[in-house]
Amino acid sequence: MSTTLILRILLVEDDRLDAGLLFRMLNEQISHHTEVTHVERMSEAEKYLAGHAVDIILLDLGLPDARGVQAIQQAHRTAPHIPLVVLTGMDNESLATQVLQEGAQDHLIKGQFNARGLMRAMGYAIERKALEEALFAEKERAQVTLNSIGDAVACTDTLGNITFLNLVAEQMTGWSCQEAASRPMPEVFHILDATSRETIPNPMEMAIGRNRTMHLPSNCVLIRRDGFEIPIEDCVAPIRNREGQPAGAVIVFRDATAARATAREIHHLAQHDFLTGLPNRALLNDRIGQAIIFAPRRTGKIAVLFLDLDGFKHINDTLGHQVGDKLLQSIAQRLLTCIRASDTVSRHGGDEFIVLLSEVAHSDDIAVAARRILQAVSEVHAIDHYEVHLTVSIGVCVYPDDGQDTQSLIKNADTAMYQAKENGRHSYQFFKPSMNTWAEERQSIEESLRVALERREFALHYQPMINLTTGKITGAEALLRWTHPTRGLIAPMKFIPVAEDNGLILPIGVWVLREACRQARAWMDSGLSLPTMAVNVSGLEFRNESFLEGVFAILEDTGLDPRSLELELNESVLLKHTRSTESVLRSLNARGVHLAIDDFGTGYSSLSYLNKFPIDTLKIDHSFIHQIGAVSDNTTIVKAVIGLARSFNLRVVAEGVETQEELAFLRGHLCDEAQGQYFSQPVPPCQFATLLQTEAAVRELPHE
C-alpha cells in the first residue's frame, strides 16, 4: 500500500465502544492515511455505498438490521467488488470458512487484534480481492474464448474424469458440461476407428501417461450420445501443474466431415479426368502396374488398347468445343458399356482413350472387345441437336508378348494405333515389332525435318498443266522435294503429314510459296510464257492467322502478278470455319489470286461451297482418272465432275493422266486441262524452263 494514498474505510459497527476502539487503532497508524466513515446499520451502509467510493469495508456481524452470514451476503451483494473484512465476537472455525465462502476476504475476532494486525488484515484483504477479481476476469475470458471458437474443447482431471466441455464439445458429444462433469472420459467422448469399428484407446490417458501431446488416429469417429457418428480429427494435450506433472488433459477436436469429403474429392480429382470422370493417366498407370503383378496368378495376359478418335479435331472445329466435350463424354459412356468390371477405361488426354483388359483368357477375347468398341463408338451420338458420326482407331498391345512394363505397353499400343490409322481408320491393329521401325522412322523424319529448311534440303519440281485443246502449257504445279542427307529423296506424302502434325508446315509453306513465285517471275522476266503457277497449301497453313498477309507480302516482294498465282486447297479445308474461310478466299479473289480445289471428289460430298466460295478450278483426283479403261471402267465420277465444273463455269484439270486412253476419254468429254506422266513428270526448274522454251517434251496431242 502506498503511503501517499488515502485508504477509504467504511466501518459498519453498531457498538460505539468497539467503533471507538477501531478509530483509535486506525489513528495510531501514522504510516497510513486513512479516512474512516462510520455507520451503525446495514441500511445506512447501503445508502453510503450507493453514493461513495470505498476501498474496504469493516463489517460487524451483529448489526440491528443484519446479522451473521446474512450481513455478509447483504454487504457482498451491495458492493461485490469491494474487499470485506468481517469482525466477530467469537473465534469459530466453521464461521471462519463460511465467511470466506460468502465472499469476505478475512475475519478478525474482536479483542484479539491490535492496530498492526488490523492494518495487515486489511492489506491482505485488498490484495486478495484484487487477485480474485483478476482471476475471475481471466476465467471469464477463457470461458468466452472457449465457447466462441469453432473447435470442441474438453478437459479432464488426472483420473480421466470430465471437468469441462465448451459449447461445441457439448453439441458434438450430446452431453452438457454439467451432466458430463466428473464422468469418465470414454463415457462422454466415445470414439471408434471408422474402418475396424474398434474402440480407440482413451487418448486422454495416453496424453497424461506419456505427458505429451498426442494426435487422434486419422480415421476416427465420435459416437454422439444419440448414436450419431461424426468423423473427427485433432489432438490431446496434457495439462501440467507447476512441477510439470500432468494435472489433467485437454482435447481439442473438430468435425472432420467436410475436411474428409474434400480430401476424398482431391484424391479423386488427382486420379480422374475432370471432363469424363474416367481414370486419368496416373490411375491407369497404377492399374496397369497392378494388372502386371496379378497377371501370372490369373490368366497370364493383359491387353492395353490405345484409342484415338478419327477426325475428332474436325468435329471440334466445326461444331464447337462444347459439342466436342459432350461427344467425349458420350464416348466415355459407350466405352464403359464395352468392358467388364475388372477392366479400366481411362482418358489419356485430348481424343485419346486407353482401355486396359486386365484378365484376358484367350487372345480372341481382345479382338472381340476391340470390335465391340469400334461398333459402340461408331453408332450415332445425339449431341444437342446434332447427330454426330464418328469412328475410332485402336492399337492393341498384349502383356507379356509385346511389352513388359506399363510404359512400353502404352507406347507400343500407341504405335499400333498409328498403323490402324494408316490402314484406313475405323479399325484395330495388334502391335508387331516391325511397327517400331516405322514409328522410329517417323520420329527420325520429324527430327531431320526440323533442320531441313536451314540446311537447304528442299527443292521445288514443276509439273506442266496442258490445255487439252491447244496442247500448250497453261501452268506449272510446284511440288515439294526433300533430299535427306542419308536417306535420299523422301516423298511428300511421307513428310508433309509429319510437318502438318508438328506445325513445321508453316515455315516450309512460306518457303514453297516464295520460291514458286520467285521462279515464276524469273521465267516471265526471261521471256517465257507461264500463265499460272499453282502452289499447294495445306489446311494448317490456310487457317494460320498470318496466311493472307504472308501471301500478299510474297507477291509484293517477288513482283509476281497475283493473277498468275493459283492456290490449291483440299476440300476438307473449305469445310472448316466457313466464316473465316469465306473471308480469306474473298480477299484472295479480290486481289486476283486463283483458287483450285485439289483432289476433288475424295473428300466430303457437300458441294454447297462451290456456290459459296470464289473458286476457279477443280482438279479431278488421279484415282478417278485411273478408273478410265480399268477393268471396272467406272467413269461416272469423272464425267460428273466435268459436267459439274461446266455448270458452275469452272476450269477443270485432270490429275495423274498416264495413258493415251485416259487422255482420249478426257478430251472426248471436254475436260479443259490435264497433268500427269503422259505429258511430263514433275521436273527440276531448268528442265521445266526447257519445256517452256520448246514444249518439246510435251507430246503432240493425237488428232481426234
Size of the site for ligand C2E (CB under 6 A): 22
Give the nearest distance from C-beta 478 to Mg ion in angstroms: 9
Q: Which is nearer to ligand C2E, 53 or 631 (CB)?
A: 631
Encoded amino acid at 131, one letter: L
Candidate residues 87, 445, 468, 512; the one interacting with ligand C2E per rule CB under 6 A: 512
Give the nearest distance from C-beta 537 to ligand C2E in angstroms: 6
Instruction: Please identify, among the stretches 64-72, 425-433, 584-592, 653-661, the one whose residues bind ligand C2E according to the rule CB under 6 A.
Output: 653-661
Candidate residues 105, 173, 202, 463; the one interacting with ligand C2E per rule CB under 6 A: 463
226: DSSP letter: T
Q: Where are the alpha helices (DSSP H) in 162-249?
A: 167-173, 177-180, 185-188, 203-210
Write down the residue that cell numbers 461451297 correspond to: 609
Q: Which is nearer to ligand C2E, 332 or 496 (CB)?
A: 496
- Judged on CB neighbours under 10 Å (0-12, 13-18, 19+), 688 is buried
Per CB under 6 A, 641 contacts ligand C2E: no
Residue 496 interacts with, from ligand C2E, Mg ion, none (CB under 5-8 Å by kind): ligand C2E
Q: Which is nearer to ligand C2E, 188 or 479 (CB)?
A: 479
Residue 433: strand, helix, or coil:
helix
What angle, 0 to 180 degrees and rounded to 10, lies between the N-to-C axes of helices 505-525 and 547-558? 30
C-alpha cell at 410: 502404352
Candidate residues 480, 533, 618, 641; the one interacting with ligand C2E per rule CB under 6 A: 480
Per CB under 6 A, 492 contacts ligand C2E: yes
DSSP output for 271-286:
HB-TTT--B-HHHHHH
Candidate residues 6, 135, 491, 590; the one interacting with ligand C2E per rule CB under 6 A: 491
> What is the C-alpha to C-alpha distance for residues 165 and 179, in angstroms, rounded to an integer?
10
C-alpha cell at 559: 513482283
Per CB under 6 A, 583 contacts ligand C2E: no
Of residues 660 through 679, those in contact with ligand C2E by CB under 6 A are 676-677
Residue 493 interacts with, from ligand C2E, Mg ion, none (CB under 5-8 Å by kind): ligand C2E
Residue 105 interacts with, from Mg ion, ligand C2E, none (CB under 5-8 Å by kind): none
- Judged on CB neighbours under 10 Å (0-12, 13-18, 19+), 455 is exposed
Q: Which residues bind Mg ion (CB under 5 A)?
A: 536, 568, 598-599, 655
Residue 468 interacts with, from Mg ion, ligand C2E, none (CB under 5-8 Å by kind): none
Dihedral over alpha carbons 562, 568, 571, 574 (to 10 degrees): -30
> What is the C-alpha to C-alpha distance for residues 415 and 423, in angstroms, rounded to an integer?
13
Q: C-alpha angle 413/414/420, rounded to 5°? A: 90
Query: How would you write 509-571 as a 3-class SS string?
Result: HHHHHHHHHHHHHHHHHCCCCCCEEEEECCHHHHHCCCHHHHHHHHHHHHCCCHHHEEEEEEH
Candidate residues 248, 395, 475, 656; the one interacting with ligand C2E per rule CB under 6 A: 656
Candidate residues 60, 273, 351, 599; the one interacting with ligand C2E per rule CB under 6 A: 599
Q: Which is nearer to ligand C2E, 40 or 655 (CB)?
A: 655
Q: Which is nearer to ligand C2E, 492 or 592 (CB)?
A: 492
Per CB under 6 A, 496 contacts ligand C2E: yes
Write down the residue that cell numbers 504472308 correspond to: 550
Per CB under 6 A, 594 contacts ligand C2E: no
Contact set with ligand C2E (CB under 6 A): 463, 479-480, 491-493, 496, 509, 512, 536-538, 568, 598-599, 622, 655-656, 658, 676-677, 682
